Amino acid sequence: MEEYVNHHSRDLNNSILMSSPSLISFMDKSKNMNWYSPLENENYKEYRNEFLELDDEWKSAKSQMELYWPAQGPRWDGIAMVQGKDGMKGLVLVEAKAHVQEMRSKLKATDPQSVDLIERTIREIKAVFGSESSMHPWLNQYYQLSNRLAYMYLLNEKLKIPTWLALVNFVDDGSHKPTSVNQWMDHYQEVFAELDINFDSSSLLNRLVTIYPNSVEKN
């Protein structure tokens, strides 16, 4: 992700835009995606909820977010800002993976208030996405994806910040476990089936983007 943002950002932007008609429709065609993380000149900083401080109009949303999620929030692999045609600003939040086992994750919070807040929000998004599964896969199998979907929902619906979630799945990364496009496709079919996400349930799912760029070596 660091290599793409800092040295191949046009390829990354094009991949995201080609996979998201809703983002193309939103963006001012004279503007580009402006990446804020992970930047080489900032030691590849990855943001948590402080990404809401990138724009003055969003700063109040940081405290509002705490009504729905614990204060720190997840750590994002990439953050970009986009300019809308009507002057409204939007976000692209990135979760990047190099092999399918990285998708396996479970809730590790132990504070009862934090756990209660997380569970209440995930129950809400389950309903929004038409899922009739148990909470188990959302909290104990694919929790990282669950909380990314939660942020996509909260930012768009509660905080009214146009936001796209980009799942960046690197193909044939030789540094660990090379994963083919077919393996990624098979895996996502399994994930969405276990989470029981109904893609007819909400127009919000148009803000979900999946891309499969080839792995590149770091300069």
> What is the full DSSP assignment across 184-205?
HHHHHHHHHHHHT--TTS-GGG
Mean pLDDT estimate for the chain: 94
Q: Which pLDDT tens digit goes with each residue over 119-165?
A: 999 999 999 999 999 999 999 999 999 999 999 999 999 999 999 99
- Would you state the pLDDT for residue 145? 96
67 pLDDT above the threshold of 70: yes
Closest CA to 96 of 164, 149, 165, 163: 165
pLDDT above 90 covers a percentage of the chain that reads: 86
Residue 216 has which token pair? 């590149």
- Would you state the pLDDT for residue 87? 86
Q: What is the pTM of this model?
A: 0.96
Residue 140 phi/psi, 5° resolution? -125, -5
In angstroms, rounded to a whole number, what is the distance separating the alpha carbons of residues 9 and 97? 17
In angstroms, rounded to a whole number, what is the distance separating the alpha carbons of residues 183 and 35? 29
- Would you state the pLDDT for residue 219? 62
218 pLDDT above the threshold of 80: no
Place 175 in a pLDDT band, splitting at 50, 70 and 90.
confident
| Domain edges within the chain | 2-211
